[in-house]
Amino acid sequence: MSWAGIFHNTSILLGGALIGFLLITAVAGPGLSPNDPFQIDLTHRFEPPCQTYPFGTDHLGRCVLSRLLWGSSISLGSSVGISAAIMCLGLGIGIMSGMGNQRVDFFIMRMVDMLLSFPSLVLTLGIIGALGPSLFSAAVGICMGWWPVYARLVRGMVLSAREKEFVTAARLTGTSGIRMTTRHILPQVLPPVLVLASLETGTMILVFSGLGFLGLGVQPPQPEWGAMLNEARTYIFTAPYLLIAPGAAIFTAVLGFSLLGEGLRQAMQVRAVNPW
Amino acid sequence: MVPLLIGVSIISFGLSHLSPGKVGDLLLRQSGGVTSSESAQRFKQELGLDKPLPVQYLHWLCKAIRLEFGASFSTGASVRQEMLKRLPATLKLTATAFLIMIGLSLLVGIPAGLRPGGLFDHISRLFSTTAIALPNYWLGMLLLYLFGVHWKIFSITGDASGGRVLLPALTLAIGMSAVYSRLVRERFLEVFSQDYIRTAQAKGLALPAILFRHAFKNALMPLVSLWGMSLGYMLGGSLLIETIFSWPGVASFAVQAVLNRDFPVTQCYVVLMALVFSLSNLTVDVLQTIADPKLRRNMQAKKV
């Protein structure tokens, strides 16, 4: 796969552009926002879009656009962080399982089986229930719910990578286990895993904002997209337009990551995993 | 299956020991008791929280098998009764969503697979790309607004009876059918390039006959193994969908329980869902072995 090929893939280009745009809003959001996202002004509740409030105001008179811009760093930052953590966990444990002796492998895989007997989101809910609703417990819960899938996947990749002839050759020349892992196995496993991480980040945004929506993740008054939707839900009769902006933001972000990931996946010919 | 269930029970039990404030203290504070160390001690003795962990676990397991998780912290009612009362509503929602998902993905996937690169293929690709990225809780609220508030066809509050299930089930199904329709398309593409289909076409068989007699079973059999997985996704997704549509099932109950730190309810929910999920995975495995002779032969070969 050449660089030129990547630039000719519309899916990658479109996804990359969407993510680039959102990253700019996430980084520069606080500077770009026209108003203070925490400023409560009860005289300006439910204002329609106007010059000072381009997207209108919410039930406490806060500027929706400002909250959206501030929220993008929370929503995107957390989701990317969670996705990276899951990848690291999955990669580390999967390689341990694939490279370790039979007993280690057996132990890890049974552990994975156990965790996979829960629907991922249900396990996440259980962990949040134990730790109490907050951003931190949502992040821990999501990591625990999703790493087993990736550990199993990485293990499979490691096992097939070990079958390659140059790996056998390296083993015969007496390469140590650690050097074998870092120099011969990891370079084979890492590219497909990174591609899947991009696809996974989209799912993480959905799940993380979903938890925020249920009130189990980021707590008010923090302007997270899911939490904003939750606040808007109460006013579905009086101010239904409040539903539009946060939902559209989540949709755009997920679309960006899934287009990029899907494009990269096809370009690099990585086998798909089921996204649930 | 049995070692797995034991593992599941250990994880569920472990969850209660994750919480930073010990369950006993929390319970004591919520019941309005004095938090002197003496009364706390007595309280813990009553609950058996002063015993070593393995003893506590066995004690817990004996009750958990009968789904006895005691009384809810917030309402005082028996968790088991409350859960079993609400379970049918969740199962109805999940089952309907499952049927809609299969129907929708066949409807979108098969025509796309028969004419790859055609107009319908492009439309179906657009559908799946959009639907995968669409947050189902957002879609749910937009539908709720349109049907419930704007057109007033759907009653926003109410019980789990009749056709009220359709809207939440559709919302729950759409994300998954987006993924599924792509898989259906790929399978039909593959099957239609096989020799036996060409033979059937050469015989002059009509398209419906080819589809139903020859292609259907071969194309869809490998996808059956994903059913269990998609059910797990739907059980998780019901947490959001039940809350939005105020569906009186176990998931919306569990969300409320987490918000109220009502631990027995959360724990019962987690165990119950693991049970439902494991049982349905088992059912799918059995169904697949019955339906697929290839799989059966493989299993017999392994035994010898």
- CB A122 to CB B259 under 8 A? no
- CB A202 to CB B133 under 8 A? yes
Q: Is the pLDDT of residue B271 over 70?
A: yes
- At A271, is the pLDDT very low, low, confident or very high (cuts 50, 70, 90)? low
User: What is the C-alpha to C-alpha distance for residues B212 and B89, in angstroms, rounded to an integer?
Assistant: 34
Testing the interface with B: which of A10, A125, A140 to mutate, by most B Cβ within 10 A?
A125
Backbone angles phi, psi at A57, to 5 degrees: -125, 160
Contacts of B2 in chain A (CB under 8 A): none
- CA A5 to centroid of chain Cα atoms: 26
Nearest Cα of chain A lies from the Cα of B240 at a distance, in angstroms, of 7
Testing the interface with B: which of A260, A265, A276 to mutate, by most B Cβ within 10 A?
A276
Q: State the ipTM, two decimals.
A: 0.86
pTM above 0.90, yes or no: no
Say if A19 is an interface residue toward chain B (CB within 8 Å).
no
Query: Which A residues 103-122 touch B at CB under 8 Å?
Result: 110-111, 113-115, 117-122
Tell me the three state secondary structure of residue A63. strand
User: What is the C-alpha to C-alpha distance for residues B30 and B15, in angstroms, rounded to an integer?
Assistant: 20
Contacts of A131 in chain B (CB under 8 A): 18-20
Nearest Cα of chain B lies from the Cα of A202 at a distance, in angstroms, of 7
Q: Is the pLDDT of residue A76 over 50?
A: yes
Most confidently predicted of A35-39, A89-93, B20-24: A89-93
> B182-199 burial string, b = 16+ CB within 10 Å, else e?
bbbbbbbbebbeeeebee
The token duo for A31 is: 């500077």
Q: Is the pLDDT of residue B20 over 70?
A: no
Q: CB of B266 within 8 A of CB of B129?
A: no
- At B23, is the pLDDT very low, low, confident or very high (cuts 50, 70, 90)? low
Backbone angles phi, psi at B71, to 5 degrees: -100, 150
- CB B179 to CB A130 under 8 A? no
The token duo for B234 is: 């739907």
Say if B137 is an interface residue toward chain A (CB within 8 Å).
yes
Residue B32 confidence (pLDDT): 56
Q: CB of A36 within 8 A of CB of A48?
A: no
User: What is the C-alpha to C-alpha distance for residues A69 and A88, in angstroms, rounded to an integer?
Assistant: 29
- Which is more confident, A7 or A23? A23
Most confidently predicted of A37-51, A56-70, A104-118: A104-118
Contacts of B142 in chain A (CB under 8 A): 243, 247
- Which is more confident, B36 or A99? A99
Q: State pLDDT tens for residues A195-249.
A: 888 888 999 999 999 999 999 998 888 889 999 999 988 888 888 888 899 999 9
Nearest to B8 among A117, A214, A246 (CB): A117
Residue A6 confidence (pLDDT): 62
- At A87, is the pLDDT very low, low, confident or very high (cuts 50, 70, 90)? very high
Residue A145 confidence (pLDDT): 92
The token duo for B231 is: 């059910």
Nearest to B277 among A117, A129, A254 (CB): A117
Nearest to B138 among A117, A247, A259 (CB): A247
Backbone angles phi, psi at B119, to 5 degrees: -60, -45
Average of pLDDT values for A36-65? Answer: 81
Q: State pLDDT tens for residues B195-234.
A: 888 888 888 888 888 888 888 888 888 888 888 888 888 9
Q: Is the pLDDT of residue A275 over 50?
A: no
Q: State pLDDT tens for residues B43-90.
A: 666 666 667 778 888 888 888 777 778 788 777 788 888 899 999 999
Q: What is the mean pLDDT of chain A?
A: 87
Q: State pLDDT tens for residues B279-300.
A: 888 888 888 888 877 777 777 7
DSSP annotation of A100: S
Q: What is the mean pLDDT of chain B?
A: 83
Could you tell me the CA-to-CA distances from A227 to A68, B103, B266 in Å, in that order?
Answer: 11, 33, 22
Q: State pLDDT tens for residues A119-145.
A: 999 999 999 998 889 999 999 999 999
Q: State pLDDT tens for residues B100-142.
A: 999 999 999 999 988 888 899 999 999 999 999 999 999 999 9
Q: CB of B135 within 8 A of CB of A206?
A: yes
Nearest CA to A233 among A254, A200, A210, A263?
A: A210
- CB A251 to CB B11 under 8 A? no
DSSP per position, chain B:
-HHHHHHHHHHHHHHHTTSSS-HHHHHHHHTT----HHHHHHHHHHHTTTS-HHHHHHHHHHHHHTT---B-TTT-SBHHHHHHHHHHHHHHHHHHHHHHHHHHHHHHHHHHHHSTTSHHHHHHHHHHHHHHHS-HHHHHHHHIIIIIIIS--S-SS--S-GGGGHHHHHHHHHHHHHHHHHHHHHHHHHHTTSHHHHHHHHTT--HHHIIIIIIHHHHHGGGGGGHHHHHHHHHHHHHHHHHHTT--SHHHHHHHHHHTT-HHHHHHHHHHHHHHHHHHHHHHHHHHHHH-HHHHHHHHHHH-
Residue A213 confidence (pLDDT): 94
Nearest to A255 among B133, B258, B274 (CB): B133
Say if A61 is an interface residue toward chain B (CB within 8 Å).
no
A57's enclosing H/E stretch is: none
Q: State pLDDT tens for residues A141-186.
A: 999 999 999 999 999 999 988 888 888 898 888 888 888 888 889 9
Contacts of A246 in chain B (CB under 8 A): 138
DSSP annotation of A165: H
